[in-house]
A and B are shown apart, each in its own frame.
Chain A
Amino acid sequence: MTTTHPSLSRPTATHPVISARALTKTFGTVRALDGLDLTIGHGEVHGFLGPNGAGKSTTIRVLLGLLRPDSGTVQMFRRDPWKDAVELHRRLAYVPGDVEIWPHLTGGEVIDMFLRLRGNYSARRRNALIDRFELDPRKKARTYSKGNRQKVALIAALAADVDLLLLDEPTAGLDPLMEAVFQEVIREKKEDGTSVLLSSHILSQVEALSDRVSIIRAGRIVESGSLTDLRHMTRTTVEVETAQPADAIAQLDGVHSFRTEAGRTVFDVDGDRVSQVMSALAPLGVRSLIAHPPTLEQLLMRHYGDAPAARH
Chain B
Amino acid sequence: MSLTTHPPRRGSPLTAAGTLVRFLLRVDRIRALVWVLGIGAMGFYFAHAVQVVASDDAALAELAGLYADPVGRMMVGPGFGMDDPTYERFYAAGYAFVLYIFLALMSVFTMIRHTRADEQAGRAELMRANVVGRHATLTSAFVVTMLMVLAASVLIAGGALSAGFAWEGSLLIAVTGTAVGFFFAGAAAVSAQLSESARGASAMAGGLIGLAYLVRMAGDAPEVGGTALSWASPLGWAQQTAPYVDDLWWPVLLLAGGGLVLSALGFWLSTRRDVGAGILPARLGRAEARPALGTPLGLAARSLWGTLRGWGIALVLAALMFGAYAQTMMDAADSLPAEIADVFAGEDIMLGYLAYIALFMGVFALAAGVSSIQQIRGEEAHHRAEYGLSAPMSRTTWLGAHLTVVVVGVLVILAGVGAAMGLGAAMVLENDGGAYVGDLFLAAFLQAPAVLCVVGVVTALFGWLPRAAAPVGWVIVGFTGLMSTFGGLLDPPEFVLDLDPFHHLADFPVEPIAWEPIAWLTAIGAAGIVVGLLGWQRREIGRI
B-binding residues in A (CB < 8 A)? 27, 61, 64, 66-68, 85-87, 89-90, 92-94, 96, 98-102, 104-106, 108-119, 121, 136-140, 142-143, 153, 166
Contact = CB atoms under 8 A, between A and B. Distances in A.
B386 interface: yes
Contact of A139 (B285, B291, B382, B389): B285
8 contacts: A67-B541, A94-B390, A99-B387, A100-B383, A102-B384, A113-B289, A117-B393, A143-B196
Interface string B158-202: 000000000000000000000000000000000000001101000
B286 A108 contact: yes
Contacts, number: 119
B288 A109 contact: yes
B484 interface: no
Contacts of A118: 391-392
B390 A64 contact: yes
B313 to A, nearest CB: 16
Given A116-B294, A143-B196, A108 B391 contact: no
Given A61-B542, A105-B302, A85 B389 contact: yes
Given A66-B540, A67-B540, A101-B387, A90 B392 contact: yes
A247 B415 CA distance: 94
A104 B200 CA distance: 12
Given A99-B387, A153-B387, A143 B197 contact: yes
Contact of A102 (B284, B288, B303): B303
Contacts of B289: 105, 108-113, 116
Contacts of A137: 287-288
Given A113-B293, A142-B197, A100 B285 contact: no
Contact of B389 (A64, A99, A104): A64
B339 to A, nearest CB: 59
Q: Identify which of B282, B283, B285, B383 gathers the most chain A CB atoms within 10 Å of its CB.
A: B285
Interface in B513-544: 540-543
Nearest to B541: A66
Contacts of B390: 64, 89, 92-94, 96, 166
Contacts of B284: 106, 136, 138-139
Contacts of A116: 289, 291, 293-295
Given A87-B392, A90-B392, A109-B293, A96 B540 contact: no
A104 B286 contact: no
Given A96-B383, A113-B299, A153-B387, A85 B291 contact: no
Nearest to B294: A116
A31 B66 CA distance: 66
Contacts of A100: 382-384, 387
A89 B196 CA distance: 37
Interface residues of B, number: 37
B306 interface: yes
Q: Identify which of B282, B288, B543 gathers the most chain A CB atoms within 10 Å of its CB.
A: B288
B391 A89 contact: yes
Contacts of B382: 100
B394 interface: yes
Q: Identify which of A67, A86, A92, A93 gathers the most chain B CB atoms within 10 Å of its CB.
A: A86
A260 to B, nearest CB: 43
A137 B299 CA distance: 18
Contacts of A94: 387, 390
A86 B543 CA distance: 20
Contacts of A105: 285, 289, 293, 302
Interface in B272-314: 282-289, 291, 293-296, 298-299, 302-303, 306
Contacts of B296: 117
Contact of A96 (B306, B386, B392): B386
Given A116-B293, A117-B392, A118-B392, A140 B285 contact: yes
B389 A66 contact: yes
B116 to A, nearest CB: 12
A119 B383 CA distance: 23
Contacts of A111: 289
Nearest to B391: A117
B383 A142 contact: no
Contacts of B293: 105, 109, 112-113, 116
Contacts of B543: 27, 67
A21 B387 CA distance: 25
B194 to A, nearest CB: 14
- Which A-B residue pairs are the 8 nearest by beta carbons? A116-B294, A112-B289, A94-B390, A106-B285, A117-B391, A138-B284, A109-B289, A89-B392
A198 to B, nearest CB: 16
Contacts of A106: 284-287
Nearest to A108: B287
B164 to A, nearest CB: 50
A114 B387 CA distance: 10
B118 to A, nearest CB: 15
A143 B282 contact: yes
B544 to A, nearest CB: 10
A106 to B, nearest CB: 4
A225 to B, nearest CB: 29
Contacts of B286: 106, 108-109, 138
A89 B393 contact: yes
Contacts of B389: 64, 66, 85, 89
Contacts of B282: 139-140, 143
A114 B540 CA distance: 22
Given A86-B393, A89-B390, A90-B392, A108 B288 contact: yes
Contact of A138 (B287, B299, B386, B541): B287
A31 B63 CA distance: 66
A25 B299 CA distance: 31
A194 to B, nearest CB: 16
A130 to B, nearest CB: 9
Contacts of A27: 543
Nearest to A98: B383
A98 B543 CA distance: 16
Contacts of B288: 108-109, 112, 137
B238 to A, nearest CB: 34
B540 A68 contact: yes
B294 A112 contact: yes
Interface in B304-328: 306
Nearest to A130: B287
A61 B287 contact: no
B125 to A, nearest CB: 12
Contacts of B394: 85-86
Contacts of B283: 140
A179 to B, nearest CB: 22
Given A89-B389, A138-B286, 19 more contacts: A66-B542, A85-B389, A87-B392, A96-B386, A98-B383, A100-B387, A105-B285, A105-B289, A109-B293, A112-B289, A117-B294, A117-B391, A117-B392, A117-B393, A118-B392, A119-B392, A121-B294, A136-B284, A140-B197
